Structure 1
Amino acid sequence: MKAILLAAGKGTRISRMVKDVPKSTLPINGIPLIRHTVSMLLDTGMEVCVCIGYQKEKIKQALDGLPVTYYHNPFYDVTNSIASLWFARNEINDDMLILNADVFFSKEILSIILSDRHEVAIAMDTGRVEVGDYFFKTVNGCVKKYGKDLPREERNCEYVGMIRFNKSFTNKFCTEMERFINSQQHHRWWEETIYSMSEKTNIYTIDVKGYFWSEIDYFDDYERILAYLDGKL
């Protein structure tokens, strides 16, 4: 199995607070977040690839000594994560876990995700529907509607930041990603490749309700992680 982390973006919402520090390198108990994540993935025996762009040398420094493969998106400042993943497309040829590098999560969440046996499944949290970044409406465990502004009465879970799929799904995924790239839709999030297939393909979900996780979009998110690790949540 392979994992690809998306770590090329600047993170404009938090950049005013952290200056030129990539948010995936913020320290978690003295260890850069991305190093914490990559170490967990390597411990499972996965190959790990990292898509880099903004402050790429700082990402590499945070992962110094770890056996990872890098893919650089030189256009990170004018494209979105789908373009970053495109540079690593030749790695998408096995059972895959693709995730955003700015998400803190536990080994328990990783274990739950890796034990899922659907062809493709998205990690989500049914305990987070009031406030969040990106929401789904699921029916019988499958994604039916999605969006940042999905009305409260329609959404029933929040996206966690990672998607797992089997080797049998890789051709479908890459074909759809290529369609986006060829139509100059470089501004898309990589996940939109999956979302766009939900009308014709069952995109299952994996509920991690009850386990702590946090995406770092704002400095408050980072402080929430530190409070959790300090036993204050």
Structure 2
Amino acid sequence: MKAIIMAAGVGRRLHALNMNKPKCLITVGSTTLIRRSVDLLVSKGISDITVIVGFKSDLIRNELKNDVIYFENPDFQTTNSIKSLWYARHLLENDVLLLNGDLYYEPSILDYAINQTNAVVMLADSTRIDNADYRFGFMGDQINRFGKHLTNQETDGEYVGIVRIDKCFTDTFKQTLEEMINAGKSDIWWEDVLYSFIAKQVPIHFFDVAGTFWTEVDTLRDYNHLQNWITSQDMAVPREIVQPS
């Protein structure tokens, strides 16, 4: 299994907090969000890690050194994450984990993702309704509604920002990714490739991580929420992280 971390975005809403750095370099304890993700992946036996960079890519390279492979989206100012993933499309083979770079999550969430067996599984949290950002509606164990526009009544959970794509589906996914880019759809999220399958009645499954802690650090409110949780756990750095030797 390999992992691809999406970290090309600018993150304008956190400019005052991260001082014009990529969101993934926000400090948490004595580490950063992206260093923590890389270390957690390695601790779970995943050492084939690619980080897709764009905005201030030199800062991310300085943080992670040679511990990962880098792909750069030179169009990060004018495109969205679908174009970032397109630049690394040849990596979409075998089993792949795709993660957003601005995530903080408990280690058990990675275990849930790694152990999935369906062709595509998007992690979701059914306890996040009122303040959900990107929303899902469920039917059985599949996603049948999606979008920020969903009402609370239409929402069954919030998207976590972690997806597992099985090797049986990577070729299909990659083909659709290329078709969408060729059609000029470079200003949308990479996840929109998956959502296009839902319209075609292709099953996109979810796994509910309810009961675990995670947050996307996209706003100052998210950051304060994370710091309050860490304080409540009485720890500055998660104890579960195994640093690579």
Q: TM-score range by the shorter chain?
A: over 0.9
Aligned to 2:53: 52
SS of alignment partner, residue 152 of structure 2: coil
The structural deviation recorded for 1:18 is 2.5
Q: Provide Cα deviations, 1:54-88, integer angstroms capped at 9, x if missing partner.
A: 0001111111252x110000110000000001111
The answer to whether structure 1 residue 215 and structure 2 residue 216 are counterparts is yes
Map 1:56-71 onto structure 2 (within 5 A). 56-66=57-67, 68-71=68-71
Aligned to 1:175: 175
Aligned to 1:202: 203
Map 1:113-192 onto structure 2 (within 5 A). 113-192=113-192
The structural deviation recorded for 1:224 is 1.4
Unmatched segments (≥5 aa) in structure 2:
235-245
Map 1:67-78 onto structure 2 (within 5 A). 68-78=68-78
Aligned to 2:24: 24
- d(CA) in 2 for partners of 1:88, 1:184: 17
- d(CA) in 2 for partners of 1:163, 1:29: 26
Q: Provide Cα deviations, 1:86-141, integer angstroms capped at 9, x if missing partner.
A: 11111111101011000111111111111111111000000001112100111001
Aligned to 2:96: 96
SS of alignment partner, residue 209 of structure 1: coil
Provide TM-score, normalisation by structure 1. 0.96
Q: Provide Cα deviations, 1:25-77, integer angstroms capped at 9, x if missing partner.
A: 111111011000011112222210000000001111111252x1100001100
The amino acid that maps onto 2:98 is I
Unmatched segments (≥5 aa) in structure 1:
none
- d(CA) in 2 for partners of 1:20, 1:12: 8
How many residues get paired?
Answer: 232
- d(CA) in 2 for partners of 1:17, 1:37: 20
Aligned to 2:109: 109
The amino acid that maps onto 1:78 is T
The amino acid that maps onto 1:178 is E
| Residues 132 and 157 in structure 2, CA contact (< 8 A), matched pair in contact too | no
